[in-house]
């Protein structure tokens, strides 16, 4: 496994993970047409096909007539809605938490007995039962206004596309929000009202997966090892020693986290968010956090240090349910990762030359199978394993107000390389690739 060296995160004055909701500066942040060879053949052929179709619901129609394109076509009579998937039209009149007039979504509104309420909803919606224990809903977002950085909105679009790609390949739902749900909870604090609302809107989801807008998936195949987190409710990237012993505010990163949709999480977020700018104690919390975490430069209370604070000061209360992931790039610092893309790509090319099964062309829908296969080959590749998530902390792609310790070019070029590195994995089942990570152009994938 890759050990993502924490020293790389420990950058002085590093702005924390940004969700790019900005304070006081309103605009300153950041018919399927089937081919002739397939189903619609026209004229006499279609009549013939229908006849064949009736007699071969399970037997593929095989033909080598060149007009039919030598395709194998299997006609099935499956109903439009499959009986095995979730039923999106079924909501029985039985009373659930949604019918409680007291129920509310805002951060101030207390939710009680959530675990039982969720269970009841699931009981009334049995078609969601399959997979309910590990269903993941991704939530991300950005500010309500256009970006100030001239290419900021383009970067946000590509960063969002990357998340959509990852979700599509793994069958996850995704919600992108760009409304500020609580007028005073700006910037890094904006995600908590959103995560809470997402929990209530998605009782079918076991996990809410928050991913900052400036983080992207650079291993499209890797899946979260949920089994490892089965006794935990919150998963963050970090280093326990740096949090508990060194008391460093960069001992973890709050820009990407997995949080279980349960009462514990609602309670925890309530305490966590109570250090935010919507409370009268915001200023005081800033001082408390700074005196507890001496390396914290900014005097403002931020969600990342607030999380570290709760882990250290209220360890007995919360600590055993928080998993600090250090074994792989749950999220990784871009400065360390970006220079490795070329060597990683080379390693994967070599591997595919050795392992024929990895080179087999396949439908995007079954890419998880090849991902699993590939995982076996790269498990011990160390730094040559694709990093799961690359996080452009400090770059602020939307408002362009990047940390002065980086150049705008380093941020922008790094991001384009990371986006193209990820997109190469996405484009592969479509038959194309970016031969040069620094260039958006594509060529067909060469045959091996």
**117 or 386: CB nearest ligand NAG:** 386
**141 or 414: CB nearest ligand NAG:** 414
SS (H, E, C) the chain: CCCCCHHHCCCCCCCCCCCCCCCCCCCCCCCCCCCCCCCCCCHHHHHHHHHHHHHCCCCCEECCCHHHCCCEECCCCCCCCCCCCCCCCCCCCCCCHHHCCCCCCCCCCCCCCHHHHHHHHHHHCHHHCCCHHHCEEEEEECCCCCCCCCCHHHHHHHHHHHHHHHHHHHCCEEEEECCCCCCCCCHHHHHHHHHHHHHHHCCCCCEEEEECCCEEECCCCCCCCHHHHCCCCEEEEECHHHHHHCCCCCCEEEEEEEEECCHHHHHHHHHHHCCCCCCCCHHHHHHHHHHHCCCCCCCCCCHHHHHHHHHHHCHHHHHHHEEEECCCCCCEEHHHHHHHHHHHHHHHHHHHHHCHHHHCCCCHHHHHHHHHHHHHHHCCCHHHCCCCEEECCCCCCCCCCCCCCCCHHHHHHHHHHHHHHHHHHHHHHHCEECCCCCCCCCEECCCC
By CB under 6 A, tell whether 10 contacts ligand NAG: no
Count of residues near ligand NAG by CB under 6 A: 3
Residue listed under structure tokens 């052929």: 45
**59 or 343: CB nearest ligand NAG:** 343
**298 or 340: CB nearest ligand NAG:** 340
Closest approach, Cβ 256 to ligand NAG, in A, equals 24
**201 or 381: CB nearest ligand NAG:** 381
Closest approach, Cβ 65 to ligand NAG, in A, equals 52
**339 or 431: CB nearest ligand NAG:** 339
* Angle subtended at Cα 356 by Cα 422 and Cα 61, rounded to the nearest 5 degrees: 95
**145 or 335: CB nearest ligand NAG:** 335
- Binding to ligand NAG, residues 307-366 (CB under 6 A): 339-340, 343
**7 or 343: CB nearest ligand NAG:** 343
Closest approach, Cβ 346 to ligand NAG, in A, equals 8
Q: Which residue is nearest to ligand NAG, using beta carbons? A: 343
- Binding to ligand NAG, residues 414-433 (CB under 6 A): none
Two structure tokens written together for 157: 């679009």
**171 or 339: CB nearest ligand NAG:** 339
* Chain positions contacting ligand NAG, by CB under 6 A: 339-340, 343
């Amino acid at each position: 496994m890759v050990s993502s060296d924490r020293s790389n995160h420990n950058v002085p004055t590093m702005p924390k993970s940004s969700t790019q909701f900005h304070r006081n500066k309103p605009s300153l942040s950041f018919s399927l047409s089937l081919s002739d060879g397939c189903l619609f053949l026209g004229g006499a052929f279609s009549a013939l096909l229908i006849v064949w179709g009736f007699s071969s619901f399970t037997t593929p129609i095989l033909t080598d007539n060149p007009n039919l394109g030598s395709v194998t076509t299997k006609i099935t009579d499956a109903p439009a809605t499959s009986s095995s998937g979730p039923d999106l039209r079924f909501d029985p009149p039985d009373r659930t938490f949604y019918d409680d007039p007291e129920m509310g979504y805002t951060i101030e509104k207390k939710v009680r007995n959530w675990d039982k309420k969720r269970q009841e909803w699931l009981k009334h919606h049995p078609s969601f039962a399959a997979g309910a224990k590990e269903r993941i809903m991704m939530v991300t977002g950005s500010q309500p206004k256009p970006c100030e950085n001239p290419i900021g909105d383009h970067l946000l679009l590509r960063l969002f596309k990357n998340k959509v790609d990852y979700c599509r390949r793994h069958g996850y739902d995704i919600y992108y929000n760009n409304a500020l749900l609580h007028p005073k909870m700006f910037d890094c604090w904006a995600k908590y009202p959103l995560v809470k609302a997402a929990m209530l809107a998605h009782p079918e989801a076991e996990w809410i997966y928050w991913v900052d807008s400036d983080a992207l998936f650079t291993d499209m195949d890797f899946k979260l090892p949920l089994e490892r987190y089965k006794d935990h409710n919150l998963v963050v990237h970090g280093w326990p020693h740096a949090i508990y012993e060194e008391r460093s505010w960069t001992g973890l990163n709050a820009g990407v986290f997995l949080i279980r949709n349960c009462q514990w999480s609602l309670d925890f977020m309530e305490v966590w968010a109570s250090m935010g700018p919507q409370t009268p104690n915001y200023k005081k919390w800033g001082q408390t956090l700074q005196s507890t975490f001496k390396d914290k430069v900014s005097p403002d209370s931020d969600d990342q240090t607030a999380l570290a604070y709760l882990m250290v000061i209220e360890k007995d209360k919360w600590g055993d349910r928080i998993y600090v992931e250090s074994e792989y790039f749950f999220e990784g610092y871009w400065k360390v990762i970006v220079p490795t893309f070329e060597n990683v790509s080379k390693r994967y090319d070599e591997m595919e030359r050795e392992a024929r099964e990895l080179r087999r062309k396949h439908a995007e829908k079954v890419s998880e199978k090849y991902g699993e296969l590939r995982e076996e080959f790269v498990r011990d590749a160390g730094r040559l394993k694709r990093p799961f998530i690359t996080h452009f902390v400090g770059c602020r792609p939307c408002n362009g107000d990047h940390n002065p310790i980086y150049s705008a070019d380093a941020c922008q070029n790094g991001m384009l390389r990371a986006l193209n590195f990820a997109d190469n994995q996405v484009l592969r089942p479509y038959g194309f690739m970016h031969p040069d990570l620094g260039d958006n152009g594509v060529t067909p994938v060469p045959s091996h």
